[in-house]
Structures are given as C-alpha cells and as structure tokens.
Structure 1
Amino acid sequence: MRIAIAQMCSGIDPAANAKALRAHIEEAAAQGAEILFTPEMTGLIDRNRNRAAGNIHIERDDPVLKEACDAAAQVNIHVALGSLAIRPDAGEYGEDDKWVNRSFLIDPTGQIAARYDKIHLFDVDLDTGETWRESAAYAGGQQAVLAPLAGPATKATLGLSVCYDLRFPALYSALTNAGADILSIPAAFTVPTGAAHWEILLRARAIEAGVFVVAAAQSGTHEDGRATYGHSMVVDPWGEVLLDMGTDTGTATCDIDLEAVARVRSRIPAISNRREFASPKVSFDDSI
C-alpha cells in the first residue's frame, strides 16, 4: 500500500492553507498514493484566539474541509485530514463556547467516512512561568474511533488520534484491541518536546502492538510565531523508521507491507497476551 504524508507549516489564513492542502492532495495522487495523511491543525495555526475565532466554523461551513473533500473526489484518493479546529454543533458537547480539535477520514468520493475529536488536552503550568490551557478553548472528545480503509488491492483499519494523545498508551491499546493495523498520529509538536520524545514515543506505539504508525507533522516557524518540530514519520510494526521527512515542508510517499502486521504479531503476540487486572493495592508497613 502506498501512502503519502504532507508536512506543512500552516498559518493564520485558512484560504492559503486550503490551497496548500489541495496541492498536497494532487501531488500524493500523482505519485500513486492511496491515502494522504496531513498534520494536526492543517487548516489554521493561530495562538491568538480572538483572531482565530473568526476563522473557526461549524463542520458544514468549514472551507478547508470542503476543499479537502472536493480535491479527494477529483483525484480519487483517501485523505486522513490530521485535524481542524471546529465549532461543535449546538449542544453537541454542552460547552457551546468551546471548539473541538477534530480529525477526519475522507474517502475517494469526497465523503467524510470518519471523524474523531482529540481526547487528551494539554494543560500545564511550567516552572518557567508559562501556562498552557488547551481546555480553555477546546472540549475533549470522549470516543475512540476506528475507520476501515479499502484501496484497489488492500484493506486496512485505521485508528485515529491527535498529537498529545500520543502520550497515553491506553488509547492505542483500545484501538489495537479493536483491530487497528495503522495508527494515525498527526501532530504539531514543539521543538524541545519533539527533539526529546517524538521518535521514541512513535516507535513505542508501533512496537507495543505490532502496528504501522503514520505521523504527519507541522514543521517550521509559523505566522503566529510558534515553531514546530517536523520529522513526519512512518514506523513499521517492528519499530523501524521507514520515513523521516526532516524539517522541510512537502509531500513524501512510502510503501508499506500490511502483511508485516501479522508477521510481527505472530512473533510477539502482545495484543492476544494482554490481560485485564485490578487497580494497584497500596500497602504500608508501619514497622519501617
């Protein structure tokens, strides 16, 4: 199965990002890919939330999503749209003032085949004085999502996730227990955390379940001033890195052998060996 990755440096103008996305979709199809994976926040990266608010729409009105669906149908390709900032429909989350970080799978007819809202939100107070509160603007998803992929000669099951989800292996255990053989992990990792943890965590997610990991990333210095790490990757079920795009933006393809999933799992049957267990029992010895 030939897959493609778009490594992007999305900015504050959704129209410009949509134009770049269409070019990636057309290039991926021209290179024979069955599916293109794009990064987290493909349509908009803007940490100025007041400015961003005017560019965030309900799903049916989102111009970047519409461009992706139109382009996918035009060139007959799946698009795993890493994520967009979306306004939920009224009452969908009970928090009408918050957005969701939503990933989409678009089929080759341009229809939305699956959608997933990022579950884990990044909230932290750093000793440098910096504070990040993703939950101040976004509502967290509540449902893990699998999506079937059917190509001309191959079939696969895609497990959806987004960026910070990468640090929570229980989500990927749920996805692989339910049949995922490819994990999509689009991201916009910062440079320091990317250098420290990105490859290690991606390889761990692949190794622990014998699964392909496809991680499309944002890269470079963005219009809003933030910098992202890049290094979009494809990792095979044995943990080998098949593709590392470095820091340049562009479209790259990679051929994956889906039969490798069964071969690796026959050698290390981690999924079938998983067991349920009770929470830890804490015991204190008063004599010490």
Structure 2
Amino acid sequence: MTRVAAVQMVSTPVVEQNIATARRLVAEAAAGGATLVTLPEYWPIMGMTDTDKVAHAEQPGSGPIQDCLAELAREHGIWLIGGTLPLVSSDAGRVLNTTLVYDPQGSAIGRYDKIHLFGFNKGSESYDEARTIVPGESVGSFEAPFGRVGLSICYDLRFPELFRAMGECALIVVPAAFTHTTGQAHWKVLLRARAIENQCYVLASAQGGLHANGRRTFGHSMLVDPWGEVKAVLPEGEGVVSGELDPAFVAKVRESLPALRHRKM
C-alpha cells in the first residue's frame, strides 16, 4: 500500500506567499504519511491578469519555484509532482505550463508540458490560455516504485485519447484550476470516467476558492479508485486530501473486468 496526497490551494498573485503555503501543506501531507504528493495547477501564481505569469517564467533547472520543489521533495523524502509552473518558451510573450516531477532525493526526473489549452466563453466568463501559453507536444509519465504514473493537467481531462496514450498506469495525476462553472458541471464525472476506463487510481489536486483576480475555482481535490469510487475529497479552501493506493485492488478490477485487454483500437 502507498499513501498519496493532493494539495489544494487558493493561490494569490504573490509568488512568495504561494511558496510559503505550498511548503506548509506539503509538510502536512508528508507528516500524514504520504510518499507521493501533488500540487495544483498554477500554484506559484494566480495573477491579476493572464500575462502576470510570463514575468515569473523560469529556465528549466533554475529559479526559486523549482528550488522550492526540489527542496520539498528532498526534505520530506517524497515523490513530488509540482503542479504546474511557468517555464520559458521560444515565444517571448508566452510560457510553457509545465509539470515537473521530483524524486525523494530532490532530483527532477520527469516533465510534462500541458498539451490542451483551455478556451471558454459563457456570459461574463472568458478564458483563452493560448494567448499566454505554448502547447506541449509529448505525453508524460514516469515510473514510481508502485508503477507507472501518468501526467495530465486540467483541461487535458476532457481528452481521453491522451490518457490511453500513457499506457497502463497505476496512477494518473491531474493538477487543475477548473473554473467553478465547468467544475460544478463536469469535474467529478470526468475524473471518475478516466479512472474507470483506465482501471487505475486518479489523484486530482485543484485550486479551490475565490482568488484575488476575481476568478472562482471549483476545488474538490480528490482520490478516485479504479472502480470509480471517490475515496477522499476536499470541497473548497486550502488543505490536503490523501488516501491509499492498493495494487491488489487494481489487479482485481482488471482481472474481473478485463476491458484493457479487450481493446480493439
């Protein structure tokens, strides 16, 4: 059995404040026995405007955000999935929205750049991530002691073909900042669907509350098991959700309902 945890935040426009919050919540997760912890999307900065994150973009391997992640993984001896942070891209006006993975020694051992960029227009709500983000091109995963971990980010959740391309995973992580509108409608059902169809655990770490820029995120960080049952959830506000991964249960689900072996395409 492996204990995993998702950190939920209500990030601010101030990077230093968010780093302090992340340090506190990751420490709480580790103290609770978690050996793998994931942070939410945009945890280092939820700016007053979408372009604010561009000014805080870091070069791969260098910068205060990455230093914090490496220190936390090493200090607590955990696998740390660093939500997302802005990395410098080839386009000076846009960034990569990137998940970095750190092993218990604090070494960066995995990376995934968000492929699907959120666009939404309804009433007074309007979002277009492509204005400030360059899309990634490669599927991301890494090998943990308990099996393969698939990497996805927020809007990716709506594209099941990405999850199939990860191969057979023991766990899929979903750092996110779902809006309250779309989260209320679709968040839980999409997470359960990805767990059921891939017959694996899904760990989702979300932003969850009203931010200084007026945006309201849905929260509901959760752990879902391979049968689609929600094992733990935090509706709103900052905090930690944790639970156990049971490899025997994964094997039992896949043996009793061998859907992954029955695929034809």
TM-score band, normalised by shorter chain? over 0.9
Cα deviation, 1:95-124, whole Å, max 9, x if unaligned, reads 343201101111111111100000001134
Give 1:37-76 correspondences, 5 Å limit: 37-76=38-77
Cα distance in 1, alignment partners of residues 200 and 184 from structure 2 = 23
Deviation at 1:61, TM superposition (A): 3.2
Residues 1:110 and 2:101 aligned together = no
Cα deviation, 1:217-276, whole Å, max 9, x if unaligned, reads 001111222110110010000000001111131123212212211111112212111112
Residues 1:119 and 2:115 aligned together = yes
Deviation at 1:187, TM superposition (A): 0.6
Cα distance in 2, alignment partners of residues 33 and 158 from structure 1 = 15
How many equivalent pairs are there? 264
Structure 2: tracts of 5 or more residues without a match: none
**Percentage of matched positions with identical amino acids:** 36
Q: Which residue of 2 aligns with 1:148?
A: 143
Match of 1:163 among 148, 151, 154: 154
Instruction: Report the TM-score when normalising by structure 1.
Output: 0.87
Alpha carbons 2:142, 2:150 under 8 Å: kept: yes
Corresponding letter in the other structure for 1:236: D
Cα distance in 2, alignment partners of residues 179 and 47 from structure 1 = 39
Alpha carbons 1:15, 1:63 under 8 Å: kept: no
Q: Which residue of 1 aligns with 2:235?
A: 246
Cα distance in 2, alignment partners of residues 46 and 273 from structure 1 = 46
Alpha carbons 1:21, 1:68 under 8 Å: kept: no
Q: Which residue of 2 aligns with 1:174?
A: 165
Corresponding letter in the other structure for 1:180: C
The secondary structure found in structure 2 opposite 1:221 is coil
Q: Which residue of 2 aligns with 1:227?
A: 216
Corresponding letter in the other structure for 1:268: L
Q: CA RMSD in A?
A: 1.5
Deviation at 1:47, TM superposition (A): 4.6
| Structure exhibiting the larger radius of gyration computed from Cα positions | 1
Corresponding letter in the other structure for 1:134: E
Instruction: Report the TM-score when normalising by structure 2.
Output: 0.94
Cα distance in 1, alignment partners of residues 102 and 54 from structure 2 = 25
Cα distance in 2, alignment partners of residues 86 and 205 from structure 1 = 28
Cα distance in 2, alignment partners of residues 104 and 257 from structure 1 = 25
Residues 1:203 and 2:199 aligned together = no
